[in-house]
Amino acid sequence: MSSTSRGGALGSVLYRALWRWHFFAGLLILPFVILLAVTGSIYLFKNTINDGLHGDLRLVTPQPSPAKAPSELVASALAAHPGSLRGYNPAPAPDRSAEVRILGSDGLKDTVYVDPYSGRVLGSLWDAGAAGSPAMYTVRKLHSLKSAGWAAERIIEGVAGWMVLMTASGLYLWWPRGQKGGIVSVRGTPAKRIFWRDLHAVTGLLVGGFIVFLAMTGLPWSGYWGKKFYSYSYALGLGMPDGYWDKYPVSTVPLKEVVDRAPWAIENQPVPLSRASAGVPAKLDDVVRTLGRIGMAPGYAINIPTKPDGVFTASVYPDDIRQERVVHLDQYTGQVLFDMGLSDLGPLGRMAEWGVSIHMGQAFGLANQLVLLAALAGIVLLSVSGCIMWWKRRPAGGLGAPTLPAGNTVPLPLLALALATGVFFPMVGLSMLGFLLIEGASYGIRNLRTA
């Protein structure tokens, strides 16, 4: 056999092998991809949706008179909703209410909305953290499936890895091999399978880069991959540099358990302790004044210390990610113990924060939201068109999965790709092993039937 024919045979086997894996992986992850795209599309506009759902609580009429002191607003909230103070969010703009987070005697934490000018309590909602409302909290949990437990979270992590692999394999399958149609144009009509094949290919070409970006910027917060990435970046000094807590003793409580949203690079770092463990706590009014003096961006939240040696923690994640900041203040003196902004992070830490800001549609305003919305709509179209294409080509009563040419083994390039991908994305590697076991068992059964 000539080298040309051998190369052609290898190319054919590799193409069909990748097609087979692309087919099975696509069918398995399709429901999760659609779930991620739909919930992600909704969450992009969470602030607009929250204002529409709860404008009576979140919005106020600006007044010429100055806002009341934080302590007065907190007192009004506690009078209407007795409990323990857990947090305070100053009004971020003249037309916004102040938010007071209170832990009730029933063990539930609620957000009480207060008019900053009159001190009138506007109402309350169950505290949904960074999501801003119970409705958006549900969307956020569906997006990550964290509320469904450990296994579901690992599945989503695996789906993210498979989305990257599907993009790479899809690009290989799309690559022009002499055909004139279906590259950047769609042939036929919706009644024809070739229409859906071309639509799938062209849509994949358009949104492939977005798929990889969204998957990779979401993975740092995943259960297994994210922890490993965090450990390696910290060990290399590329995430959170050492030295920020050297001057003060620290607790055993990680930052992510104190604030609604913590920067990825320091979410597992311990919160510092106040220098004293007893005394007269600093007034909330003084803490707010200090934060204003050091230039904390509007929209920040303050977490109230709950232990004698705890600290005040203020954090803000504005649309302008360059103003992201976390500040810890001594509970008794009000002194700033720790002040970290985006520029203080290592290269990977900054990259992760920029990535998640764009991922959530914050960094570039409405344009960011609309571009991602179009990309997510394309991902849904990609999934639906792939499903319809398969449905139209499948034989009656059969699955219609692509088969390898008879007598050929899996090509070494595909095995190398599978090994590298499995190492980089462990959840993908585990699913690949499961697929190989099923393929091996299926191959053995077929041989027994034909023996």
Per-residue pLDDT reduced to its tens digit, 53-65: 999 999 999 999 9
Rg value, the chain, Cα: 27
Tracing tokens 């358009």 back to the chain, one arrives at 206
pLDDT (0 to 100) of residue 370: 98
Question: Mean pLDDT throughout 105-117?
Answer: 96
* DSSP bridge partners of 315: 301, 326
Residue-wise pLDDT tens digits, 310-363: 999 999 999 999 999 999 999 999 999 989 999 988 888 899 899 999 999 999
What's the CA gap between 119 and 110, in Å, rounded?
Answer: 18
Q: Give the pLDDT band (50/70/90) at residue 3.
A: very low
pLDDT (0 to 100) of residue 5: 40
Is the confidence at residue 161, as pLDDT, over 60? yes
Side-chain-facing half-sphere of 21: CA atoms under 13 Å: 28
pLDDT (0 to 100) of residue 141: 92
Is the confidence at residue 264, as pLDDT, over 90? no
pLDDT (0 to 100) of residue 399: 80
Question: Mean pLDDT throughout 169-186?
Answer: 85
Question: Mean pLDDT throughout 99-105?
Answer: 96
Q: What is the mean pLDDT of the chain?
A: 88
pLDDT (0 to 100) of residue 267: 84
If we measure between CA atoms, which residue out of 276, 270, 268, 275 comes closest to residue 252?
A: 270
Is the confidence at residue 30, as pLDDT, over 90? yes
Is the confidence at residue 416, as pLDDT, over 80? yes
Is the confidence at residue 154, as pLDDT, over 70? yes
What's the CA gap between 385 and 378, in Å, rounded?
Answer: 10
Contact predicate 18/173, CB 8 Å: yes
Find the range with the poorest average confidence among 9-18, 193-202, 265-274, 387-396.
9-18
Neighbours of 211 (CB within 10 A): 23
Q: Give the pLDDT band (50/70/90) at residue 15.
A: confident
Q: Give the pLDDT band (50/70/90) at residue 449.
A: very low
Can you read off the two tokens belonging to residue 152?
Answer: 């579901």
